[in-house]
Amino acid sequence: MNITDKQSDYVQEVTQKLQKSGIRAKADLRNEKIGFKIREHTLKRIPYMLVCGDQEMEAGEIAVRTRKGKDLGKFKVDDLISYIQDEVSSRKLNLEE
């Protein structure tokens, strides 16, 4: 999710990196308030919401929140991909036991 239109290109770039890594991701570039977008995606039970503002864009990072509202902090995109892939693989292991 972008906060303003200035981050749209960066958000699309991050979305493409996630998708190329096999992670289902969609960019929400609508011109809505960020609080509205977060609330809407929380109700849809989206596991991770990625928020990008000017600070994140300049640092090459992305702010991550869970669907329960927990703030996981800021991640570099490659670190986020590793984190999500680890989460997915650990859930598979739990299902096998």
CATH of the domain at 88: 3.40.50.800
What's the total number of domains in the chain? Answer: 1
- Cα distance between residue 1 and residue 4, in whole Å: 9
- Cα distance between residue 88 and residue 82, in whole Å: 10
Task: Write out the residue range of the structural domain in which residue 64 sits.
Answer: 5-96
Q: Are 25 and 15 in contact (CB under 8 A)?
A: yes
Predicted TM-score (pTM) of the model is 0.82
Q: Closest Cα to residue 39, out of 29, 49, 31, 25?
A: 49
Full pLDDT tens readout for the chain, 97 residues? 999 999 999 999 999 999 999 999 999 999 999 999 989 998 999 989 999 999 999 999 999 998 888 899 999 999 999 999 998 888 754 544 4
- Cα distance between residue 97 and residue 40, in whole Å: 34
